[in-house]
Structure 1
Amino acid sequence: MNPEEIQITDWGRIFLGEVPGSFMLEVVIRIAFMYLVLMVSMRAMGKRMAGMLGRTEMAALVSLAASIGVSLQDPTKGLLPVVIIAAVVVTIQRFIAWRGTQSSDFEQKVMDDLDILVEDGCLNLEAMETTRVTQERMFAQLRHEGIFNLGKVKRVYLEANGSFSILQFPEERDGLSLIPNMDPELQESQPRAAEKLACTSCGKLMQKQSTTKSCDRCGKEDWSEAVHC
């Protein structure tokens, strides 16, 4: 289309494009067919496609979406290529799923392994840097689970599918407060731990009377009063 052919008041072009109005009926048929292909493909790839997606499931879904988009919008593209692409994607996905049940090493290479982000009330900063999980993101996840004291957390696993698994200590413990600084009133309502400070970077605890200024876990020198809850 030449630039001079583009008019802001050309509502027919804006809403219908450069296809005849009869193509709208064809789009309905194409959408119904694509919907059927998607449902059959996802059913063939297993129940994981209806739950939280891993890397292979996400790749399969994106591949299907990419193949469908072109055939929906372009009247010159047929529907048979979509069926072929769907068959290939389903075959690859089912093979990966089957191969993963036969070899844990293969599954780990394809799906990745889990990472430990919190250990015994302290952040694993190295693992968080590797997985691109920030301290703010980690604290927000813990607060979402009703946890407001880092010391209560025994382990946080970042699963291969990107979800968090959180294990807590059953008893009350000392630790770094997870209440944000912008809410000082709620911070002050938390009971303070006796004679203990918490590193604001990793959560490591230290006695107040200690002469050490830097954290022996992360090397930072920023401390706050530990809480006990």
Structure 2
Amino acid sequence: MNPDDIKIDDWLRIFYGELPASYFIEVIIRMTFVYLLLMVCIRIMGRRMASQLNRNEMAALTSLAAAIGMPVLSPDRGLLPAIAIAIIIVAGQRWISRIASRNEKFEAITQDDMEILVKDGVLELKAMQHSRITRERLFAELRAASILHLGQVRRLYIEANGKFTLIENEKPKPGLSVIPNEDQELIEEQPKANDRLVCKNCGNTMFQPLKPENECNHCKDVNWIPPIKSEA
């Protein structure tokens, strides 16, 4: 397009473009075909595509959408290349899924693996760092599950698909509060355990007496505070 032909007040060009009116009918035909092709591909790739996606499935779906979307926008692009690309993507995704279902190592490489973020009320800091999960994000997930302190948590997993799975402790023990520091009023209302201290960094608990310079045997931190206990 000639730069002189571009005018900011040319509303007809902005909304209508420079294509003939007959192309709008073609767009409807192309869009219908692409929509049906996408639905067929998702159906072939399995029920997982309609649920929580893993990395492999997300990559396949976005690649598929990007590849087959071009024929809708470009009148000079045919539909056959989109079909060929769709076949390659679907076949590749199904091949990876089949191999992953038989080989755990291959599955871990292509789709990642789960991590234990909290074990028996203690933060697994290395796992959090590896998963790039911050304390604030983790505590927010626990608060959303009505957890008030780490002593209520037996296990917290982050699954390969990014979802969190919580297993609560049947017999809660005192633990580190997950209430944000901004809500000091609620923190003060939480009942404290007087017979032990909790590491403010990882949530590991130790019975008193403890000296201020004592290191946590889990994370080597020296910041101790009274733990929160569950109300009877």
CA positional deviation for 1:208: 5.1
Percent identity for Structure 1 against Structure 2:
47
TM-superposed CA distance for 1:212, in Å, is 4.1
Q: Deviations over 1:99-137 (max 9, x none)?
A: 223222322222222111111111111111111111111
Does residue 1:43 correspond to 2:33, yes or no?
no
Larger deviation: 114-123 or 13-22? 13-22
Structure 1 residues 223 and 30 mapped into 2: Cα distance closer, same or farther (>3 Å)? farther
The offset of 1:27, in angstroms, is 1.7
1:1-229 matched pairs, under 5 angstroms: 1-207=1-207, 209-213=209-213, 214-229=215-230
- Residue 160 (structure 1) shift: 1.2
Q: Distance in 2 between matches of 1:185 and 1:154?
A: 27
Q: Distance in 1 between matches of 2:18 and 2:200?
A: 60
Query: Moved runs in structure 1, 4+ residues, more than 4 A?
Result: none
Q: Give the TM-score normalised by structure 1.
A: 0.92
Shift of 1:203: 1.1
Gaps of 5+ in 2: none
Q: Which moved more, 1:48-57 or 1:189-198?
A: 189-198
C-alpha distance in structure 2 between counterparts of 1:126 and 1:107, whole Å: 22
Secondary structure of the residue that 2:193 maps to in structure 1? strand
Following the alignment from structure 1 to structure 2, what is the Cα–Cα distance between the partners of residues 170 and 18?
A: 68
Root-mean-square deviation over aligned CA pairs: 1.7
How many residues end up aligned between the 2 structures? 229
- Structure 1 residue 218: deviation in Å? 2.1
Local SS of the residue matching 1:29: helix
Structure 1 residue 50: deviation in Å? 0.6
Unmatched tracts of structure 1, length 5 or more: none
Structure 1, residues 12-48: CA drift from partner, whole Å, max 9, x if none?
Answer: 2222333233322222221111110111101101111
Q: Secondary structure at the match of 1:174?
A: coil
More strand by share: 1
Shift of the 67–212 alpha-carbon distance from structure 1 to 2, 3 Å rule, reads: same
- Give the alignment's TM-score, normalised by structure 2: 0.91
Change (3 A) 1:219 1:14: farther
